[in-house]
Chain A
Amino acid sequence: MPSVLFYLFSAIMLGFGILVVALRNPVSSALSLAMSFLGLAALFVSLGAFFIGVIQVLVYAGAVMVLFLFIIMLLDIQAEQRRKLNLPAVIGGSFLVLVFALQLATVLGSFPEGHRLLNAVPLSPETALAARQAAGTVHASIDQDLAAGKLPDVKLIGETLFTRYHFHLQIIGVLLLVATVGVIVISRREDKTAAPSEPAAPAPSQP
């Protein structure tokens, strides 16, 4: 990936990230966050992690941000905008970020491994194919792609996920089930008689 694209997508990611914090309207913040995640997905693709990039777009920029926008419009929290910032939080936050950035610069400066170029660590499907055949793992579809000199990212992720990480996958499935049940329990109205007095959720009033 040319350097220009790296800088472009980094700028998109960081610029819209700053807008998330800076903008006063929650809807603008949410849309900026979606753009920031799109930039991040492009960086994933630049690292050869195609599957993770697609998942980032589908799950984060798609599902999660739509959920955020839905909740923001459901709650209709426009009235929150008029408050002024409290000064201790601004000073404390800026100081914290400054210290963090300084620490980051120091750590990265003394990290010789980090000075390797992306071109200096090339991926070699031939080596991978030889290693797979030596280890006795035969998966015709993956091996064909590797022999053709391609990187079958999704197939390799699937293979890893369903062999070495199958137990983790099941745990994650249970976690999602528990989260789904939990969400239903939490968001259920406790008192059915109090329901008519709820002024909740008119249609979103902003354009």
Chain B
Amino acid sequence: MITLNDYLLVSGLLFAIGLAGVVLRRNLIIIFMCLEMMLSAANLSLVAFSRFNPSNGLPDYNGQMMVFLIITVAAAEVAVGLAIIIALFRARRTVHVDDLDAMKH
């Protein structure tokens, strides 16, 4: 049977995969996708805790409200982030992070 730990483990593994993607990949858009994956992993933890800590026989809806707000903020973040990537691509002709080192020098 499924325990809370199973959900937390799956959520943590998804977060770890996203973290690995952010560190390993050099493509800005892929890095951005992996950030979304990490946000979703956090959402899974929140929903699992909400279900496993019921209040008055119902899931704790405070946790699900948090997830709702996170999803909304993530959608806004994607819009702004992709606009920045577009502007960056127009200026530099690349989305490869190794080429975007102007602030290093």
Contact = CB atoms under 8 A, between A and B. Distances in A.
Nearest to A127: B57
Q: Chain A: interface residue count, which band? A: 35 or more
Nearest to A90: B24
B100 interface: no
B92 to A, nearest CB: 12
A90 to B, nearest CB: 6
Given A94-B20, A176-B76, A29 B40 contact: no
B11 to A, nearest CB: 9
B80 A17 contact: no
Interface in A46-65: 47-49, 51-52, 55-56, 59-60, 63-64
Contacts, number: 250
B5 A111 contact: yes
Interface residues of B, number: 75
A192 interface: no
In this complex, the member of A1, A43, A49 whose beta carbon has the largest number of chain B beta carbons within 10 angstroms is A49
Nearest to B65: A165
A140 interface: no
A172 B78 CA distance: 15
A40 B11 CA distance: 9
Interface string B1-38: 11111111110111111111101111101101110110
B2 A183 contact: no
A114 to B, nearest CB: 4
Contact of A114 (B4, B30, B37, B57): B4
Interface in A106-142: 108, 111, 113-119, 121, 123-128, 131-132
A109 to B, nearest CB: 8
B24 A114 contact: no
Give the 4 A-B CB pairs with smallest separation, nearest first: A127-B57, A93-B23, A124-B57, A114-B5
